[in-house]
């Protein structure tokens, strides 16, 4: 099992990257760069490529709406080139809040669009003339669909380092999870609860794996989690509160009623009553009450908080369900302790 870590996206590039050497020495394998509505992650990924030599760098994630499929492919090829073949393209549909609220684009047909994006990206990397007649993307664009009629099929000028750059899909809904298992090298679930993963995702994964091309290799599962190696009760409660706050934000506030993927996931995990309470409080502006409504069982299930022995037990639980990378956010207050916690986690998976 490998150890990943998401980078902060709300600060500057320099300060964050300066600390990466310490994590690399501690055993970090891959760094994921999120993109919400701060600085773009592509700039930071390019900066990372220049400042690192061993670490794999991953977009975690780029949404499928704000860049065309060909631009996503070009960007991935460029980042793979400047990093010497160390790039992973993480994709996801994001949600209406970002896509419509920040980018001003309609959040429509995420599943079908994702499939077409993946197909076009691989065609670009193989340097084939990009011809695609899909429901949402047509290349070249003809007069019938609003084009001028003069566009001709083109292929990428440069030769990519790899003709198949690994792609991972961030997905929670059954259809998207199935698509990840069918078409992508990896699947990235947020708030992964090992003991309840099979009941929540198993049927969708099985359906996708049944259609999977063997050339893709085994499905890589990149599970997002939080880590804090703590022994005393006070420190443990402080770390758990950070996770409660995070869960409350997503389960309660990342989407309207009936359109919150994270709330749906909490319900699939068996926390229906809590999911309703969290959302009611959060949408009413009662954030502290929303966090307080997050069950301890959910916090313990999706995070790695506790003693070294407890961390090892939880790592084993993740591994038993097929997780291949723990994408862990360290919760400690100091840089030194965060690095130690990543080192402890690396030892636990070795």
Say what the pTM is.
0.95
For residue 2, the model assigns a pLDDT of: 97
Ordered domains of the chain (ranges, CATH): 2-226+309-349 (3.20.20.30), 231-306 (no CATH)
Mean pLDDT score of the chain, rounded to an integer?
95
Q: Of the candidates 88, 217, 220, which has an alpha carbon nearest to the alpha carbon of residue 165?
A: 88
CB-based contacts of 230: which residues, under 8 Å, 6+ apart? 236, 239, 305, 306, 307
The answer to whether the beta carbons of residues 328 and 23 sit under 8 Å apart is: no
Phi, psi of 329 (to 5 degrees): -90, 115
The answer, yes or no, to whether residue 247 has pLDDT greater than 70, is yes
Q: Please state the rounded mean pLDDT for residues 285-304.
A: 98
Q: For residue 249, count CB atoms less than 10 angstroms from its CB and return exposed for 0-12, middle for 13-18, buried for 19 or more.
A: middle
Q: Please state the rounded mean pLDDT for residues 51-68.
A: 95
Q: Beta partners for 59?
A: 33
The answer, yes or no, to whether residue 12 has pLDDT greater than 80, is no
Give the span between the Cα atoms of 298 and 33, in whole angstroms: 25
Q: How confident is the model at residue 100 (pLDDT cuts 50, 70, 90)?
A: very high
Give the span between the Cα atoms of 125 and 335, in whole angstroms: 39
For residue 134, the model assigns a pLDDT of: 95
Alpha-carbon distance values, 350 to 92, 127, 235, 329, 333 (Å)? 30, 39, 26, 19, 26
The answer, yes or no, to whether residue 341 has pLDDT greater than 80, is yes
The answer, yes or no, to whether residue 11 has pLDDT greater than 70, is no
The answer, yes or no, to whether residue 8 has pLDDT greater than 80, is no
């Amino acid at each position: 099992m490998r150890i990943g870590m998401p980078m902060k996206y709300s600060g500057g590039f320099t300060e964050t990257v300066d600390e990466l050497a310490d994590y690399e020495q501690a055993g970090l394998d891959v760094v994921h760069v999120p993109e919400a509505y701060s600085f773009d992650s592509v700039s930071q990924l390019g900066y990372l490529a220049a400042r690192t030599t061993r670490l794999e760098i991953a977009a975690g994630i780029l949404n499928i709406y704000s860049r065309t499929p060909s631009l996503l492919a070009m960007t991935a090829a460029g980042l793979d080139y400047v990093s010497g073949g160390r790039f992973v393209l993480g994709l996801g549909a994001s949600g209406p809040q970002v896509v419509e609220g920040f980018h001003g684009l309609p959040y429509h047909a995420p599943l079908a669009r994702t499939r077409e994006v993946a197909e076009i990206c691989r065609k670009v990397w193989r340097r084939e003339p990009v011809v695609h007649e899909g429901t949402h993307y047509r290349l070249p664009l003809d007069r019938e669909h609003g084009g001028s009629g003069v566009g001709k099929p083109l292929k990428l000028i440069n030769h990519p380092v790899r003709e198949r750059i690994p792609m991972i899909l961030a997905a929670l809904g059954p259809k998207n999870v199935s698509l990840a298992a069918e078409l992508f090298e990896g699947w990235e679930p947020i708030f992964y609860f090992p003991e309840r993963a099979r009941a929540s995702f198993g049927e969708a994964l099985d359906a996708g794996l049944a259609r999977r091309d063997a050339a893709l290799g085994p499905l890589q599962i990149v599970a997002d989690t939080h880590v804090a190696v703590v022994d005393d009760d006070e420190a443990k409660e402080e770390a758990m509160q950070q996770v409660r706050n995070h869960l409350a934000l997503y389960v309660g506030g990342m989407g309207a009623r009936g359109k919150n993927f994270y709330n749906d996931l909490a319900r699939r995990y068996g926390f229906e009553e809590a999911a309703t309470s969290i959302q009611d409080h959060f949408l009413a502006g009662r954030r502290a009450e929303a966090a307080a409504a997050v069950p301890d069982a959910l916090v313990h299930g999706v995070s790695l908080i506790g003693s070294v022995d407890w961390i090892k037990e939880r790592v084993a639980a993740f591994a038993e369900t097929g997780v291949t990378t723990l994408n862990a956010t360290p919760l400690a207050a100091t840089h030194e302790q965060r690095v130690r916690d990543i080192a402890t986690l690396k030892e636990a998976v070795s």
